[in-house]
Amino acid sequence: SQTIHQWPATLVQPVGSPLSLECTVEGTSNPNLYWYRQAAGRGLQLLFYSVGIGQISSEVPQNLSASRPQDRQFILSSKKLLLSDSGFYLCAWSPNRDGELFFGEGSRLTVL
């Protein structure tokens, strides 16, 4: 069966510090991978998605970046965090173009 792992689960970072959130998927190959952000009490905003290694599409301009160094690994990064980067970050994968998304458990980021 397929599983998705996301870490760390929570972190508190000072403004201006770097960020690295990691996500891996097991039990499948060539998944579509996604990063979403959810502000408190709000819906999910798509940040990045990837249909293959090294292929990253950005949905909104921001100081975040994403990378896919391996088929089942997706990394969300920032060189300098802003207060507005606080939120709940969710990694997700899908097996095909029109299938459902399977979400990880999320990473809660607080920038102080």
Which positions touch other proteins (CB under 8 A)? 32, 34, 36, 42-46, 49-51, 57, 59, 90, 92, 94, 97-106, 108
Q: Least distance (Å) from other proteins to the CB of residue 109?
A: 13
Q: Least distance (Å) from other proteins to the CB of residue 23?
A: 11
Pair of tokens at residue 107: 């990473």
Half-sphere exposure of 85 (CA within 13 A, CB side): 27
Gap between the Cα atoms of 30 and 47, Å rounded: 20
Q: Least distance (Å) from other proteins to the CB of residue 92?
A: 8
Q: Is the CB of 47 or the CB of 111 nearer to other proteins?
A: 47
Gap between the Cα atoms of 2 and 110, Å rounded: 29
Q: Is the CB of 25 or the CB of 34 nearer to other proteins?
A: 34
Gap between the Cα atoms of 1 and 6, Å rounded: 17
